[in-house]
Structure 1
Amino acid sequence: MRERERVRAWRPAVPGIHEVLHAEFHEHAYPLHTHAEWSLLLIDAGEVAYRLEGRARRAPTATLTILPPGVPHDGRSAGAGGFRKRVAYVEAGWLDDDLVERSVDAPLLAHPALAGAAARMHRALEAGGDGLRAESELLAIRGVVLRDLGGRRMRERRDDPLAARLRALLDARLTGAPTLADAARELEASASRLVRAFTAAYGIPPHRYLTGRRVDAARHLLLRGTPPAEVAAAVGFYDQAHLTRHFARTLGVTPARFQQAA
């Protein structure tokens, strides 16, 4: 990975915002993954091509895209020049659950004022001492999102009880996740049925979902200053090399570089 791939992340002291990520990527492509939070994606330069729940999407320059929690997505530069982005990860309860599917239908928010509000929010977050301004801009963004998504038709949501039980099992045991055989015995279903149900319900196979959740947990610990070797064991990776391989594949930088840039 070339040195021009740049990432800076931190945990701001602003209610509702769990993490902030500023990045510039030229070669990195995100694999399919999920987040536990709502992701507010502001594109400052270039264009991002991505799939959200299997559908091809674009995020152009000077636009805000909203990515809901628990929905699989990937991402890569749509052109040869790479892209720059700023992301705020906000708490899962920022919007009601019934807006998840509506945001899948319409993740790109075309209101010109939204990109400006997001840019002002990030400037306040970078300043470090203007949390009230950041909170105010986030509230303004939420108000526009609610008006925009609230008027859209809601699609029927897939909800397989077996898939939901497996997902809850994986979430509860990140560090000691059961094998598929163990999960099959515990949930009284065959391993193949578990994989089919989970992938159909969430658009991502169980093993990839688990890896993404572990990388998310690793990000949070790294931003608290936990050494990478300790992080690996704490989130369920076999060793630091195992963590590094999956972390770099997902986020484009190694855990050490991610932590140093925080």
Structure 2
Amino acid sequence: MAEDWSRYWRAGERPIEAMHAHFERHVYHRHSHDTYSFGVTESGAQAFTCRGGAHTSAAGMVMAFNPDDPHDGHAADALGFTYRIVHLGPDLVAEALADATGRRAPLPLFAAPVVADTDLAGALRAFHRALLADAGTTTSLRRDELLAATVARIARAAATRPPPAPPARPRRSAAVAARARRLLHDRLLDDPTAEDLARAAGGSRFAVYRAFRAEYGLSPSDYQRQLRLRHARTLIARGVPIGEAAVAAGFADQSHLTRWFTRCYGLTPGAWREAAAL
């Protein structure tokens, strides 16, 4: 049986990251990214849930996640899966899609998390290799050209208008969720209880939980952990030692951060730190 492995690359100051990985045992905890994420499955199949549905990406298929799209992931069978994925900041995507005058179009929306398009998969693989496998030989100009061309191609092939909106949730429910979310942002390093959320949001503990899940696709505790993981990444990128970053981001210690970082991102904080491009 092959071992799980992953390779990671990230740009120093630009919101571009790339991962090449093979997973048989690893299971992604439900999480999201503050970027667009475009992946291509090279072998095997990855199963995941996203936007209320179950999906499978088999070899040659493309995955497209919008910013803050909650999802999980695991191998669909015992043989595992190998895939490549790139994470691109929304501003970078907007830049890549701007017209010749620099005027930006609305950011694309990808309604289908899985797209069967072999040509698109090939273009994404070529862009990914330029970032990771050929990082030492591909010039910055060539990477930017591939980025612009690949993003435009993905947007043309897979972006779509939003599907018909579901029946609107009661305005009170959305407001309850928003107030609870604000508390989690404002008290990132605290340990608020369900009662704290209920008081801040103006609902019962269970009503707040239901409203939050319906509005943001994550439980309040998962959302809180995600905020802390993103804060830890920011600190590590600034050169803060991992142990210090863990405590500063609200984790008990470095091992606590490492455990959740790996479950959500597929690699350790140390490996992510070392992946920065020179």
AA matched with 1:250: C
1:37-116 residue pairs with structure 2 within 5 A?
A: 37-93=35-91, 94=93, 99-100=108-109, 103=110, 105-116=111-122
User: Within 2, Cα distance between the matches of 1:170 and 1:130?
Assistant: 42
SS in structure 2 at match of 1:238 = coil
Distance apart, 1:52 and its partner CA: 0.6
AA matched with 2:9: W
User: Within 2, Cα distance between the matches of 1:252 and 1:192?
Assistant: 32
Is the 1:42–1:86 contact (alpha carbons within 8 Å) kept by the matching residues of 2? yes
1:218-233 residue pairs with structure 2 within 5 A?
A: 218-223=232-237, 225-233=239-247
CA offset digits 1:187-235 (Å, max 9, x no partner)? 3333322211001122221101222332344345445553221121122
CA offset digits 1:91-123 (Å, max 9, x no partner)? 1343688754xx2x3122333222122122122
1:1-262 residue pairs with structure 2 within 5 A?
A: 4-13=3-12, 15=14, 17-93=15-91, 94=93, 99-100=108-109, 103=110, 105-126=111-132, 127-128=135-136, 129-152=138-161, 154-156=163-165, 160-176=174-190, 178-223=192-237, 225-259=239-273
Structure of higher RCO (CA pairs closer than 8 Å, 6+ residues apart): 1
The farther-off stretch of 146-155 and 127-136 is: 146-155
User: Within 2, Cα distance between the matches of 1:21 and 1:171?
Assistant: 28
SS in structure 1 at match of 2:7 = strand
Q: Relative to 1, partners in 2 of residues 1:166 and 1:130: Cα closer, same or farther, differing over 3 Å? A: farther
User: Within 1, Cα distance between the matches of 2:273 and 2:38?
Assistant: 22
Is the 1:184–1:190 contact (alpha carbons within 8 Å) kept by the matching residues of 2? yes
TM-score (norm 2): 0.79
User: Quick one: percent identity of the two aligned structures?
Assistant: 36
How many aligned residue pairs are there? 257
CA offset digits 1:7-66 (Å, max 9, x no partner)? 222322585x43222222121111211221111112222211111123111111223211
User: Within 1, Cα distance between the matches of 2:273 and 2:56?
Assistant: 29
Distance apart, 1:254 and its partner CA: 3.8
- State which structure, 1 or 2, has the greater radius of gyration over its C-alpha atoms: 2
Distance apart, 1:136 and its partner CA: 2.0
Is the 2:127–2:150 contact (alpha carbons within 8 Å) kept by the matching residues of 1? no
* Unaligned stretches of 5+ residues in structure 2: 95-104
TM-score (norm 1): 0.83
* Unaligned stretches of 5+ residues in structure 1: none
SS in structure 1 at match of 2:189 = coil
